[in-house]
Structure 1
Amino acid sequence: MRCKIHLYGELGTSGEITELLQKGDLHFAFQSPGHLGSYIPEVQVFSIHYLFPTDFKLLEKILRKGPHTYKALQKYYRKHKLELLSIIEEGWQIWTANKPLRKPADFEGITFRVMSSPLLITAYRLYGAYVITVPYGQIYDDLALGRIDAETQPFFAIQEMKFYEVQDYMIKANQLPFIGTFAANHMFIKGLPEDIRDMINDAIEGANEYIFDFEPKLNEKRRQMIMAAKPSMKYIELTDEEINAFKE
């Protein structure tokens, strides 16, 4: 099997990629529940703040080996012409802003960018933010021009996309891990010979093993790279008491 790989942005926005996958114009794609929730409401379970454990091994067990995780979601993917192949964790989502965000009241009056999941939009509105959705590739310019004040990504994305250049604070609130799903067009995967499907599943399992081992190291390295590149950056980890205010 030979695969042609397209990098982010080559084929359109996240929503457009979902539609290409549903039509069969794409065979495989990473689908973030943060965007996919607009199509499959049930995947918004991955967008519920403070639902997931901070214990990494327990989180991995839930996502990779939970007895009901795939079974519960697969029927909803198939209903929308998709096949769920993998669920991965890409790091805790970090708030970036130009002021500290330590309590819900700190969100009042700021324009906060989130993905298009209705549940995410509602969560940040409840904190008091004015919430907008813009394409991932547009975030840097909007931050630099002041069209948005804050956003949330794992460390690796903040570093790769250089969001830290136009933000002064990074805040870890443990509200939500960034969870990605790897999906295929349902009819395409269903039509493959069994031995090819087995080969794909073996490759996915091997990739999952690598990803869950590598992710914590990657994000910590990227955090250190950000702090080295911008020593004035202020990194805040919320206390349990501060986190409880968001849970309430």
Structure 2
Amino acid sequence: MTITKRILTGTAAAAALAASMTAAQADTWRYAFEEAITDVQGVFATKFKEEVEANSDHEIQLFPYGTLGESADIMEQTQAGILQFVNQSPGFTGSLIPEAQVFFVPYLLPTEEEQLNEFFRTSTTINEMFPEIYAEQGLELLAMYPEGEVVMTTKEPVTAPADLNEVKFRVMTNPLLVESYQAFGATPTPLPWGEVYGGLQTNIIQGQENPMFFVESTKMYEVTDHITFAGHNNFTTAIMANKDFFDGLPAEDQEMIEAAIDTAFEYILEYQQGLTEESLARIQEDKPSITVTRLTEEQRAPFMEAAADVEAQFIEMTGESGQKILDQMKADLEAVSD
């Protein structure tokens, strides 16, 4: 299916949803996300749905990736009030909310799991600063959570930035990710997710990055030959509500939603324990020829040096607001590293 057809399908589905919104359906809330129902965002959404429906008379209707179009489509539908909830990575909201691109500054987030989880639980940046910024775009930020270490999958092995020279590397439509892979030496190529497998298959692109579970579930390993753990990032995502919808709810419904989010948040952190290694083992079983490289500290050093340029680009893109976000985020990370 072409991207045009997919978007048209998503638009038609959204129009049908809008047309069906009647008073009788006022207690059915619609929630779209960027992954399959069995992927991390789908597992989070399912847990949230279970909690809401167990503790209220409301029903949650889930829309996995592709049912309502691409990532940009579901964000537009949420801002328009057609959807009540959306789960979307800052990688796709980077143009809408430039400060959210801070999560794509390489080597900023820790690789140690408990430190990372505690950061997402306690961060002032996430829990106090970002909600105000998201609200300006008509969004109620309910939570951010990690989805796993990002790995590169490529046609050729990668052990140094020179190995990415002239490699057309797919990135999300995110200005800072473009800067990151330029700094790493690649030729960053923004593409909607629906075009990535075919792009790798036909050699239009030669690499992409994602958490390991997503590499497995989307079978990216079928069209690439090398997996590289560079330690440069952990995939972050955000669950949001349409702000007008959320603000219009009775206090008891708001509290119920927040409690359901808290439960789903802790559930998804536990769910992900060991998930990367389990996914990798299944990939290696399905494709024994795949090579897996974990860069040493020495090998990571030139990538980390390049990250300093990306951080400077983030400040240039976002100005004083971005500087405050970055400074507070570093303080939050320092607090969980003690």
**Scaled by the length of structure 1, what TM-score is found?**
0.98
Out of 261, 267, 282, which is 1:210 matched to? Answer: 267
* Alpha-carbon distance in structure 1 between the residues aligned to 2:304 and 2:124: 27
* Alpha-carbon distance in structure 1 between the residues aligned to 2:114 and 2:231: 15
Q: Which residue is 2:214 aligned to?
A: 157
* RMSD, aligned CA: 1.0
Q: Which residue is 1:233 aligned to?
A: 290
> Is 1:92 matched up with 2:92?
no
* Alpha-carbon distance in structure 2 between the residues aligned to 1:188 and 1:174: 39
Q: Which amino acid aligns with 1:84?
A: L
Q: Which residue is 1:198 aligned to?
A: 255
* Structure with greater Cα Rg: 2
What are the residue-to-residue correspondences of 1:72-151 with 2, within 5 Å? 72-151=129-208
> Is 1:173 matched up with 2:230?
yes
1:154-210 superposed Cα distances (whole Å, 9 cap, x missing partner): 111111111101111000011010000001101101111111111111111111111
* Alpha-carbon distance in structure 2 between the residues aligned to 1:215 and 1:136: 22
Q: Which runs of 5+ in 1 are unaligned?
A: none
* Alpha-carbon distance in structure 1 between the residues aligned to 2:273 and 2:186: 29
* Alpha-carbon distance in structure 1 between the residues aligned to 2:274 and 2:240: 25
* Alpha-carbon distance in structure 2 between the residues aligned to 1:37 and 1:213: 28
Q: What is the deviation of 1:100?
A: 1.1
Identity of aligned residues (%): 36
Q: Give the number of the structure with larger relative contact order, counting CA–CA contacts within 8 Å between residues 6 or more apart.
A: 1
Report which of the two has the higher share of helix.
2
SS in 2 for 1:159: helix
Q: Which amino acid aligns with 1:208?
A: F
Q: What is the deviation of 1:72?
A: 1.1
Q: What is the deviation of 1:245?
A: 1.0
Q: Which runs of 5+ in 2 are unaligned?
A: 1-57, 306-338
SS in 2 for 1:180: strand
SS in 2 for 1:216: coil
**Residues 62 and 69 in structure 1, CA contact (< 8 A), matched pair in contact too:** no
Over 3 Å off, 4+ runs: none
* Alpha-carbon distance in structure 1 between the residues aligned to 2:273 and 2:152: 18
**Scaled by the length of structure 2, what TM-score is found?**
0.72
SS in 1 for 2:240: strand
